[in-house]
Amino acid sequence: MDLTTADTAPVHRPRLRLPSLAVVVVEGLLGLTWGWISISLFLTGVGSLFAAGSGLLLLIPWAVLMQLANRYEQHRAAGVHGIDVIVPARRRSTRTGLGGWLHDLWLDLSSGPFWRGVLHHHLAMLSASFFLLCLLTLLWVWWVAAELALVHGTLTLGTITVPAWALVLISLTALVLGALAAVVGALADRGLARVMISGSEEDLREQVVELTHRRQGAVDAAAQERARIERDLHDGVQPRLVAMAMTLGMARSAIATDPQRATDLVSHAHAEAKGIMADLRQLARGIHPAVLEDRGLDAALSALAARSSVPVDLSIELQTRLDREREAVAYFVVAEALTNITKHADATRAAVSLTEQAGTLLVRIEDDGRGGARVHRDGVSTGLAGLTDRVRATGGRLELTDPPTGTGTVLRAVIPWTPAPGSAPASSPTMNPPGRRRRTPPPPPRRPSDEDRDRRRRRAAARRPRTAADGCRP
């Protein structure tokens, strides 16, 4: 089976396979049963739209069934006929919850490939039904003619006498025509699949549109990351550097007149330099943690859970190591979620799980807090919006479930991922055994030291506008 989104080298395949003949029977039976049900659902739903919109109760389930039918037809074309199917990238909604699901459904309904797939599904059933009826009719003629030739021999119909050899000839002709009907039906089904679902210029256009959205998501995520780094440097490191420079300037002025005071000022500057280095290490960890590169996602998430003030149940079930991009996306999804839980959720516990499922990486974070999480794009609360753009840039989606009853929040990231042939197995030193679960206790509260209080005072003083009289203040 070969469903692809890129060009592949042409491979010679036989035009007719044995399973293709069985498709005539299966699709024909579907056409005689499900085909009429599908058409009735659609026509009844459209006709009931003007009755207070009640037709939506039929059209929405029909659209969902058509999505499944399109996927079935794509896999059938690839598996039965050996056709290289180009599956266009689907446009995804940036919303979450039921609204996001309905928006995803609307994006499918408004796309050309969806309706072309629906048309192919029904034409394939109609064509197969016609050839199945022809096959069954010819098989009936073959059976009756053969039975008459064997039982009665010569057949007399009024004044017409049909000899036994003519009945045998009719039987063999019906059998050959039945086999020919099955072959022509299989070839017709293959032709419909090649023309309507194997890939077209419209599919490529849809793929370009989706890739454009993904690129914009990556650009937005990078812009928000740059803004965050600039904000951290401007509000955190820069004022501390200014304060340290002023402290060193006062120490230099006091070396000749008051060596003891100069020594104290240098000691303060030295402590401040250590604090600035710690802030820079924290900032670098927010860009791309070194432990993520050196030891993998499991170790990086374990460090995140250990630093969290909320107890975290961590479960990682990965058979192979992820690539760099998806490791970073999964890490920052968990990091941002745990940060929000610590700051806003008032939760007593949190759970993080990573699993592989059907070519995707599922990242799930939940808590028992008060809820209220929302995706904002107001330029202020951009954490979840940035995560949405990050995940969408990989072709995935971010789902936020936040019940209004205030019983906690569930954040779920679905990231497409196909393991590379040379990926590290789970038993390698860079990965922990699959299914590992651990609970991290909250760290004990640390009382602020005198050095911490002095650092806070100097930071507050650095942010306050200075006057000329402040030059002599230590």
- Of 187, 164, 186, 168, the closest CA to residue 176 belongs to 168
Which has the minimum average pLDDT: 30-34, 114-118, 287-291, 419-423? 419-423
Contacts of 471 (CB under 8 A, 6+ apart): 250
To which residue do tokens 């940035």 refer? 386
Position 126 scores a pLDDT of 92
pLDDT at residue 137 is higher than 90: yes
Mean pLDDT of the 7-14 span: 43
Evaluated on CA atoms 46, 47, 53, 58, the torsion sign reads negative
DSSP-assigned states of every residue in 395-428: T-EEEEE--TT-S--EEEEEEE----TTPPBTTS
Structure confidence at residue 382 as a pLDDT band (50, 70, 90): low
Question: What is the chain's alpha carbon radius of gyration, rounded to the nearest angstrom?
Answer: 34
Segment 303-317 shows an average pLDDT of: 87
**How many residues are given for the chain?**
474
Query: For residue 8, is pLDDT > 50?
Result: no
- Across the range 325-329, mean pLDDT stands at 82
**Mean pLDDT in residue range 315-321:** 82
pLDDT computed for residue 173 by the predictor: 92
Task: Quote the CA–CA distance of 56 and 427 in Å, as a whole number.
Answer: 51
Task: For residue 362, give the H/E element and its range.
Answer: strand 360-367
pLDDT, mean over the chain = 76
Residue 306 confidence (pLDDT): 86
436 vs 383, higher pLDDT: 383
Judge whether 355 and 413 are in contact, CB under 8 Å.
Answer: no
- Tell which wins on pLDDT, 146 or 404: 146
Indicate the fold that domain 291-440 takes in CATH.
Heat Shock Protein 90 (3.30.565)
pLDDT value at 376 more than 80? no
Q: Is residue 271 pLDDT above 80, yes or no? A: yes
- 447 pLDDT higher than 90: no
What number is the average pLDDT over the span 197-224? 64
Judge whether residue 426 has pLDDT over 80: no
State mean pLDDT over 262-272. Answer: 87
pLDDT of residue 287: 64
Whether residue 310 has pLDDT greater than 60: yes
387-411 confidence digits (pLDDT tens): 777 787 777 888 887 766 567 788 8
Chain segment 156-180, per-residue pLDDT in tens? 777 777 788 888 898 899 999 999 9
392 against 121, higher pLDDT: 121
Overall fold of domain 212-286: 1.20.5
pLDDT at 352: 92
Average pLDDT over residues 359-368: 87
Give the pLDDT confidence score for residue 200 in this predicted structure: 54
| pLDDT of 75 over the 60 cut | yes
* pLDDT range class, residue 133, cuts 50, 70, 90: very high
Angle 164-196/56-80 helices, nearest 10 degrees?
110
All structural domains of the chain with their residue ranges: 3-137+191-199, 212-286, 291-440
Is 267:474 a contact under the CB 8 Å cutoff? no
Whether pLDDT at 181 is above 70: yes
**What share of the chain in percent tops pLDDT 70?**
69
Count the neighbouring beta carbons within 10 Å of the beta carbon of residue 82. Answer: 18
| More confidently predicted of 378 and 85 | 85
**Residue 434 pLDDT grade (very low, low, confident, very high; cuts 50, 70, 90):** very low
